[in-house]
Amino acid sequence: MIKKSIDLYRTGEHLQFNDARELTNGQRSEGILTLAPNGNGPPAHIHTRQTEGFEVIEGSLILIINGKERVLNTNESTIVKAGEPHTFKNASNAVKAVAKFWYEPALNIEWFTQTVGEDAMANGGAWERASVLPVLYAFYKMRSEYRLGAVPFWVQDFILTFFALIAKVTGAYKKFELPAEPG
């Protein structure tokens, strides 16, 4: 996969994965995240089988892990354990925040972020502008790795299964080249 820079210009979020996944044989995926002043990351989410780490390179990030806020300033880092709901945002309304991020093991999060991000860029530059049915199908395929933090898993399973069936019937699932088997 060619790793394009994900530039969500409407929200001021920029992601760039490096080649760690290939160099570590899938043990680690990593990249650089840039958030505009007042910029927000994704909604609260859970990596069910990965740890995620952040190290702030410039500015400050607010991480919300298990509902508790923690400010990370330049040269500070933290780890989010598998199963912990979390999100993040820029702590400043004046300067950008830049952070290194990583996942261990890599699994399929890089594919998911890259694919949905490229679609979001093509449809208007924000996560919420990505193609709905293909994205829900991708979420369905990723459900053993990635979950929304505020919705019970059984509700997610019901909704994702329903929309995955619609995506299959309409052919919308073909929009993204899905990995053969997550994990």
Give the Cα separation of 47 and 83 in Å (integer): 6
SS3 of residue 120 by DSSP: helix
Average pLDDT over residues 166-179: 86
CA–CA separation, 29 and 63 (whole Å): 20
pLDDT at residue 142, as a whole number: 94
Domain ranges of the chain: 6-104, 111-175
- Specify which residues 17 forms β-bridges with: 31
Half-sphere exposure of 50 (CA within 13 A, CB side): 29
Kindly report, residue by residue over 94-120, the tens digit of the pLDDT: 999 999 999 999 999 999 999 999 999
Confidence at residue 13, expressed as pLDDT on a 0 to 100 scale: 94
Global pTM? 0.90
Question: Does residue 85 have a pLDDT over 70?
Answer: yes
Domain 6-104 classified CATH 3.40.309.10?
A: no
